[in-house]
Protein backbone atom coordinates (compact mmCIF):
# COMPACT_ATOMS: atom_id res chain seq x y z
CA UNK A 1 0.00 0.00 0.00
CA UNK A 2 1.63 3.20 -1.24
CA UNK A 3 0.43 6.78 -1.21
CA UNK A 4 0.39 9.22 -4.13
CA UNK A 5 -0.67 12.81 -4.73
CA UNK A 6 -2.44 13.06 -8.07
CA UNK A 7 -3.31 16.20 -9.99
CA UNK A 8 -6.55 16.14 -11.97
CA UNK A 9 -7.25 16.38 -14.82
CA UNK A 10 -4.18 14.23 -15.43
CA UNK A 11 -1.41 15.94 -17.31
CA UNK A 12 0.21 12.64 -17.98
CA UNK A 13 -1.65 9.34 -17.81
CA UNK A 14 1.63 7.52 -17.09
CA UNK A 15 0.95 8.12 -13.38
CA UNK A 16 -1.86 5.55 -13.57
CA UNK A 17 0.60 2.80 -14.45
CA UNK A 18 2.24 3.18 -11.02
CA UNK A 19 -1.00 2.63 -9.17
CA UNK A 20 -2.08 -0.72 -7.78
CA UNK A 21 -5.13 -1.75 -5.79
CA UNK A 22 -5.02 -0.69 -2.11
CA UNK A 23 -2.83 2.32 -2.88
CA UNK A 24 -4.13 5.47 -1.30
CA UNK A 25 -4.32 8.49 -3.57
CA UNK A 26 -5.04 12.15 -2.85
CA UNK A 27 -6.73 14.02 -5.70
CA UNK A 28 -6.13 17.71 -6.22
CA UNK A 29 -7.70 19.79 -8.99
CA UNK A 30 -11.02 19.72 -10.81
CA UNK A 31 -13.31 16.73 -10.62
CA UNK A 32 -16.64 16.29 -12.44
CA UNK A 33 -19.48 15.25 -10.16
CA UNK A 34 -22.42 13.33 -11.56
CA UNK A 35 -24.31 10.08 -11.23
CA UNK A 36 -27.25 8.06 -12.58
CA UNK A 37 -29.30 10.56 -14.57
CA UNK A 38 -26.38 12.36 -16.26
CA UNK A 39 -24.91 8.97 -17.19
CA UNK A 40 -28.22 8.04 -18.77
CA UNK A 41 -28.32 11.32 -20.69
CA UNK A 42 -24.80 10.80 -22.03
CA UNK A 43 -25.62 7.22 -23.03
CA UNK A 44 -28.76 8.47 -24.80
CA UNK A 45 -26.78 11.24 -26.54
CA UNK A 46 -28.75 14.02 -24.84
CA UNK A 47 -25.55 16.01 -24.69
CA UNK A 48 -26.44 19.51 -25.91
CA UNK A 49 -25.55 20.96 -22.52
CA UNK A 50 -22.12 19.36 -22.29
CA UNK A 51 -20.65 19.68 -25.77
CA UNK A 52 -18.16 22.27 -24.50
CA UNK A 53 -16.99 20.24 -21.54
CA UNK A 54 -13.64 18.53 -21.96
CA UNK A 55 -13.57 15.16 -20.20
CA UNK A 56 -10.15 14.25 -21.55
CA UNK A 57 -7.96 12.72 -18.80
CA UNK A 58 -10.48 13.78 -16.20
CA UNK A 59 -11.80 12.30 -12.97
CA UNK A 60 -15.46 11.85 -12.06
CA UNK A 61 -17.07 11.50 -8.67
CA UNK A 62 -20.41 9.73 -8.18
CA UNK A 63 -22.03 12.05 -5.69
CA UNK A 64 -25.15 14.14 -5.05
CA UNK A 65 -24.35 16.50 -2.20
CA UNK A 66 -26.66 18.27 0.19
CA UNK A 67 -26.97 22.01 -0.40
CA UNK A 68 -24.42 24.32 1.19
CA UNK A 69 -25.32 25.96 4.47
CA UNK A 70 -24.16 29.46 5.30
CA UNK A 71 -20.39 29.55 5.58
CA UNK A 72 -19.88 26.38 3.55
CA UNK A 73 -18.98 25.76 -0.08
CA UNK A 74 -21.07 22.62 -0.36
CA UNK A 75 -22.97 20.37 2.05
CA UNK A 76 -22.36 16.79 3.01
CA UNK A 77 -20.77 15.14 -0.03
CA UNK A 78 -19.96 11.45 0.24
CA UNK A 79 -19.95 8.92 -2.62
CA UNK A 80 -22.90 6.93 -3.93
CA UNK A 81 -22.89 3.23 -4.93
CA UNK A 82 -20.90 2.93 -8.14
CA UNK A 83 -22.43 -0.31 -9.49
CA UNK A 84 -25.48 1.63 -10.71
CA UNK A 85 -23.19 3.37 -13.23
CA UNK A 86 -21.72 0.10 -14.57
CA UNK A 87 -23.94 -0.15 -17.64
CA UNK A 88 -22.99 3.39 -18.73
CA UNK A 89 -19.30 3.22 -17.88
CA UNK A 90 -18.00 2.57 -21.39
CA UNK A 91 -19.82 5.67 -22.69
CA UNK A 92 -18.09 7.73 -20.04
CA UNK A 93 -14.64 6.23 -20.58
CA UNK A 94 -14.99 6.91 -24.32
CA UNK A 95 -15.17 10.61 -23.44
CA UNK A 96 -11.70 10.32 -21.94
CA UNK A 97 -12.48 9.92 -18.24
CA UNK A 98 -9.57 8.17 -16.48
CA UNK A 99 -10.50 8.08 -12.80
CA UNK A 100 -13.89 7.12 -11.33
CA UNK A 101 -14.59 7.66 -7.64
CA UNK A 102 -17.49 6.13 -5.73
CA UNK A 103 -18.26 3.42 -3.22
CA UNK A 104 -18.89 -0.31 -3.39
CA UNK A 105 -17.90 -2.99 -5.86
CA UNK A 106 -18.26 -2.90 -9.65
CA UNK A 107 -19.19 -5.57 -12.13
CA UNK A 108 -16.54 -7.61 -13.95
CA UNK A 109 -17.29 -5.61 -17.13
CA UNK A 110 -15.99 -2.48 -15.43
CA UNK A 111 -12.77 -4.26 -14.44
CA UNK A 112 -12.29 -5.21 -18.12
CA UNK A 113 -13.13 -1.67 -19.25
CA UNK A 114 -10.56 -0.22 -16.85
CA UNK A 115 -7.95 -2.43 -18.48
CA UNK A 116 -9.11 -1.58 -22.00
CA UNK A 117 -9.27 2.20 -21.46
CA UNK A 118 -6.34 2.39 -19.00
CA UNK A 119 -8.60 3.85 -16.31
CA UNK A 120 -9.03 3.25 -12.60
CA UNK A 121 -11.88 3.05 -10.10
CA UNK A 122 -11.40 4.29 -6.55
CA UNK A 123 -13.44 3.89 -3.40
CA UNK A 124 -13.70 6.82 -1.04
CA UNK A 125 -15.20 7.03 2.45
CA UNK A 126 -18.85 6.03 1.99
CA UNK A 127 -21.22 7.42 4.59
CA UNK A 128 -18.69 10.08 5.60
CA UNK A 129 -20.11 13.05 3.70
CA UNK A 130 -19.52 15.53 6.53
CA UNK A 131 -15.85 14.52 6.76
CA UNK A 132 -15.34 14.71 2.96
CA UNK A 133 -16.74 18.25 2.85
CA UNK A 134 -13.39 19.67 3.98
CA UNK A 135 -11.60 18.56 0.79
CA UNK A 136 -13.90 20.56 -1.50
CA UNK A 137 -12.76 24.12 -2.19
CA UNK A 138 -15.21 25.15 -4.89
CA UNK A 139 -18.44 23.78 -6.33
CA UNK A 140 -20.46 24.90 -9.33
CA UNK A 141 -23.13 23.53 -11.62
CA UNK A 142 -21.91 22.99 -15.18
CA UNK A 143 -24.98 21.40 -16.79
CA UNK A 144 -28.40 19.83 -16.31
CA UNK A 145 -29.57 22.09 -13.45
CA UNK A 146 -33.04 20.63 -13.96
CA UNK A 147 -31.72 17.45 -12.33
CA UNK A 148 -31.53 19.29 -9.00
CA UNK A 149 -29.09 17.47 -6.69
CA UNK A 150 -28.15 15.16 -9.58
CA UNK A 151 -26.99 18.03 -11.86
CA UNK A 152 -23.49 17.89 -13.34
CA UNK A 153 -21.19 19.73 -10.94
CA UNK A 154 -17.54 20.58 -10.93
CA UNK A 155 -15.77 20.41 -7.58
CA UNK A 156 -12.36 21.88 -7.01
CA UNK A 157 -10.79 19.48 -4.53
CA UNK A 158 -7.60 19.44 -2.52
CA UNK A 159 -6.07 16.17 -1.29
CA UNK A 160 -9.37 14.33 -1.71
CA UNK A 161 -8.62 10.86 -0.27
CA UNK A 162 -9.48 7.59 -2.02
CA UNK A 163 -8.30 4.02 -2.32
CA UNK A 164 -7.50 2.44 -5.68
CA UNK A 165 -9.99 -0.40 -6.03
CA UNK A 166 -9.65 -1.35 -9.72
CA UNK A 167 -6.29 -0.68 -11.41
CA UNK A 168 -5.37 -0.58 -15.10
CA UNK A 169 -4.00 -4.15 -14.96
CA UNK A 170 -7.30 -5.84 -14.12
CA UNK A 171 -6.57 -5.85 -10.40
CA UNK A 172 -9.62 -5.43 -8.18
CA UNK A 173 -9.93 -5.09 -4.45
CA UNK A 174 -12.62 -7.78 -4.12
CA UNK A 175 -12.45 -11.55 -4.65
Binding site for another protein (CB under 8 A): 1, 22, 37, 63-69, 72, 75-78, 80-81, 83, 103-105, 123, 125-131, 133-134, 146, 148-149, 163, 165, 173-174
Nearer to another protein, 129 or 171 (CB): 129
Query: Shortest distance, CB of residue 106 to another protein, whole angstroms?
Result: 10
- Least distance in angstroms from the C-beta of 6 to another protein: 18
Burial of 7 (0-12, 13-18, 19+ CB in 10 A): middle
Closest contact distance (angstroms) between CB of 146 and another protein is 8
Q: Which is nearer to another protein, 8 or 82 (CB)?
A: 82
DSSP readout, 67-119? PPPTT-SS------BGGGGGGGHHHHHHTT--EEEEBS---HHHHHHHHHTT-
Least separation, in Å, of the C-beta of 54 and another protein?
Answer: 27
Q: Quick check: 1 and 25 in contact, CB under 8 A?
A: no
Amino acid sequence: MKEYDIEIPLKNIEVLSKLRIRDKIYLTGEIFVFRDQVHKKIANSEIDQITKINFYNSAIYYCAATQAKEGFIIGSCGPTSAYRMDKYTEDILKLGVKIMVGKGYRGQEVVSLCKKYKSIYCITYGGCGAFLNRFVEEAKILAYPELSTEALYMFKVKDFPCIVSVDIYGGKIWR
